Amino acid sequence: MIKETSSNAFNRKFLHSVCRINGALETIAGRWKALMLIHIAEGKNRFSLLKQVLPTVSDQVLGRQLRELEADGLIGKTVIAEVPVRVDYHLTDKGTAILPILDALAEWHDKR
Which of 53, 44, 47 lies closest to 65 in space, CA to CA? 47
Provide CB contacts within 8 A for 41, sequence distance 6+.
Answer: 91, 95, 96, 99
Phi, psi (deg, nearest 5) at residue 80: -105, 120
pLDDT in tens, 48-97: 999 999 999 999 999 999 999 999 999 999 999 988 889 999 999 999 99
Phi, psi (deg, nearest 5) at residue 89: -100, 150
Q: Specify the amino acid at residue 2.
A: I
Residue 1 has pLDDT above 70, yes or no: no
Portions of the chain given CATH number 1.10.10.10: 31-110
- Can you give the pLDDT at residue 12? 77
Task: Answer whether CATH 1.10.10.10 is correct for domain 31-110.
Answer: yes
Q: Specify the amino acid at residue 3.
A: K
Phi, psi (deg, nearest 5) at residue 17: -75, -30
